[in-house]
Structure 1
Amino acid sequence: MTIMDQDRLKKFATDRRGNVAMTLALAAVPLFATVGGAVDFHRASRDAAELQGAFDAAALAGVRQAALGDAAVKQTAQRHIDGHLSGHLKSYPVAIETSDGGKTVRIRTDGATMPTSILGVIGMPTLNVVAKSAATSTTFHTVTSAKPIMAELDPEAGDYNRMYVYCFDKSRQNHADFGRSQMTAIADNAGTKYNFNMPACKQGETISYRLYNVRNARTKPLLWDNATPGTLIPNNPADWASPWSNNLSYNYYSDTTLTAGVPTHNFTNAVPILETVICDNLGQCKAKGQGGIIPEGKNRTPQQATKACEPGKFMYFGWEDRPPGYGWTDGDYDDIRVIVECPKVSSTATTVVRLIE
């Protein structure tokens, strides 16, 4: 090899003038796939978003027909989809499923794929298009009892008494409100006039009553809402020693439940504070001495209704403001008298439709 040949070989080995072109050529493939792939992914994402909007609207429209059954829900949902998708979006396979008699509907793409324009070059001929929606229809029934025909509290009693009505839900009795809601004052023995509406109890709730009692305070208004809460202690000597000096307050919640329509009152410690009697007519809901059927007398065991309150009849509630066994009481169960007409109950239904997926 001559000296000239050696020089030419050295120059060739150190020449870099073609490197940029080679680098660009090698980088072109992934760069092309990245930019082109972004276009394909954007198209798939756009299609999924349009399908999602149509599915949500169709699911809500479908479950609004839940009262007509599964077939009507599916048909409504399908019509809504057909009417709101256009062009290539109509070609995507869609599955519509219902459950619970049409109260729940689920709509989803069923193996939907979109042909790619660019990604096919690198072996990705399609992209999955995923959209899904679900909606449910829930009907809430509310029951509103009529106002009591009579709510009388003995104006001569030494204690201050206030009567409330509320809704009780046994399934929520471990919650912060003990399952008691819509607490509404209806009467007291101080002559207060209460302008009120009866609570509207939801399905699973029962109209219940609360007695708020402040010992020896009927003539002491400052104590009615500020008395120190007391604790009921069976056969507490202190309650018997000075029954007229105690100004503590006590609450008695009936927390009523129904079994085959028969009310069961669940007072704490099962205090015997309430008497219930079913009257065939309003005239019967008077004391026996007045020609009615309501028991009379002191220091007696209160009567309890054992049948459901039927249409046309009346329920009598007679309260003793101091339960026997917890201090002095006369046990006559007429300190508070409430009469409610049995059938005067109005029921309303509210249907709520909502997306759940």
Structure 2
Amino acid sequence: MSSSIFRSFAIATVGASLVIGSSLANADTKLIGSGASFPFPIYSKWFKDFSQASDGVRVDYQAKGSGAGIQDLVNGTVDFAASDAAMNAEEMGKVDKGVVLLPLTAGEVVLAYNLDGVDELNLPRDVYPQIFTGEITQWNDEAIVAANPGVELPDEQITVVVRSDSSGTTHVFTGHLSEINESFNSAIGQGKSPQWPQTQSFIKAPKNDGITATIKQTPGAIGYIEYGYAKLTGATTARLENAAGNFVSAGAEAGAAALASAEFSDSTLPESEVPDLISWIYDPAGEEAYPIASFTWLLAYQEQEDEKAAVIRDFVEYAITEGQKSSDELGYIPLPENVVERVREAATFIQ
């Protein structure tokens, strides 16, 4: 999907289904999935390319939020799901057929904003959490002005755009804010659907594409979105101060530096158990690391129909090899080789 086509699609259709592959009449294997909008730009390309190369395969994926995807998986109404919030032990315990969590890609969460004439903006790590607690309310607040010498910041109210749905992107973003700011952690905390301040300056929109569209249509707005949406729609994003004290823009190198901080649990599980591939990077170390990055997971039943299990395993192999070549172009972080090998091993448990 070209970037121009995606721009129109992402802004005009919130939560629309992506249907790809061969025609209905010839579809031998149909996979239905739902969940995270965070990986939707790259998933859309992957599903299309994989289906075109796989005779008789059709994939239908609805990007409606991580929470909804997890619930669909628990309810057994899909063949797979996707989530940026992974799954917790309680959620996994509700899946009778077992579940395999596979980090197929990774991305950065950026702060997109709409300020006329302000093309570059630095936000310190003690400032942007306070925007999302409602403690900093004006664009010309002295703390923002101090970090942006020579930039003409307007005497204008900040409109904060947050997610209206149960969101893995929100889970990642609030996890980072809770890690670096005790005030945010106490007032709001981490969650897929946190209780944001109930003021007129906070507005809600569904999914990454909904927030992107709302920011673009609202002067003075700021909100959190996956970097791929910002890259493909031309949204202006802030440089964020990282743990090393440097202001960093999102991008392939800064994202890779963030992933370098990821640690998976040691391989101490019995060979009969699915490897644990959940790792969080709430405040990555590194001079050039972008401060908000995360894996996003494909969620597959451990017990599948043979035909569907084979297709899902084939898709996973495509995604961690050929599919990774599209990462940088679409605003995602290619998986490190050690993660690729762990995913390949875990995919064998889909039977």
- Please classify the TM superposition score into its range, dividing by the shorter chain length: under 0.3
Give the structure with the larger helix fraction.
2
The structure having more radius of gyration, on CA atoms, is 1
TM-score, length of structure 1 as denominator length:
0.23
TM-score, length of structure 2 as denominator length:
0.23
Give the structure with the larger strand fraction.
1
